[in-house]
Structure 1
Amino acid sequence: LTKKGIVKLSSATDSDSEALAATPKAVHAVMDEVQTKAPLDSPVFTGTPTTPTPPDDAKGLQTANAEFVRKLIAALVGSVPESLDTLQELADALGNDPNFATTITNMIAGKQPLDDTLTALSGKSIE
C-alpha cells in the first residue's frame, strides 16, 4: 500500500478485505480448520469418497472408481454365458490344464484317420 491508513482488527475467517487484519483468534480458527484436512501428498480418505468416472478409453493416471472398473469388467466378460464368467469357471471347464491347447492338439493327432478299409470294418460311411 502506498497510502497510510487505519486497519481494523477482525475475527472473521472468510473476509477478503484489505482494510481488516485478522486477530489471533481468527488465525487460530483457520489453522484449526486446516489441520482437519488431509495432506495433498498422501491423503487418507474417510467416509465414502467419490471421484468422476473416467471415459471407457481412459489411460494414464486418472482415478479408476468402482463404476469404471465394473464397466471394463462387463466389457471384458461380454456375452460369455454365466457358467463361464469367472476365471475359475474357465479353468474348471478346461480341466485346469495349463497346456490345454497342446493337450487337445495331441488328442486330435492320435485319432484314427478316415480310411476306407477301417471305416468299412466299423460299418460307418465316410460320406
Structure 2
Amino acid sequence: MRIGELAARAGVSVRSLRYYEEQGLLTSARSASGQRHYTEGQVERVGFLQRMYAAGLSSRTIAELLPCVDSPSEATSDAALERMAEERERLSEHIEDLIRTREALDILMATNRAHREGLKPAVAR
C-alpha cells in the first residue's frame, strides 16, 4: 500500500509516517519512481509506535526498544523491560518535580490573595 493509504488506515498523518522513517522506526520499499510502499503489517507497527509515543517515550527510546519487537528473545525482552523501567523512573521524578512546582505556585497564590485582601479599603472589610 502507498503512504496515503497507510496513513488513513493507521489514523496518522503522512508527515508522521515520514518522520517514523527518518527515525528508523518504520521501513518501506521504494518503487522505481521513488514512491513508498508498505506491507499490511505496517498498519499494526504504526499503531504500536503510536502507543509508545502515548506512553511518553521519545523516538530514540522507541528505537532502543524495537529489537524486542523485531527480534524477540529473552535478552531483548529483558533489555526492553529495563529500559522502560528507566523511563518510568524518569517520569516519576518529573511528576515529583511538577508537584513541587505546583506547591510553590500554590504558596505564591496564597500570598497574592493575602496581599490583595490587605489592599481593600477599611470600609469594605
TM-score relative to the length of structure 1: 0.28
TM-score relative to the length of structure 2: 0.28
Bigger helix fraction: 2
Which structure is higher in RCO with an 8 Å CA cutoff and minimum separation 6? Answer: 2
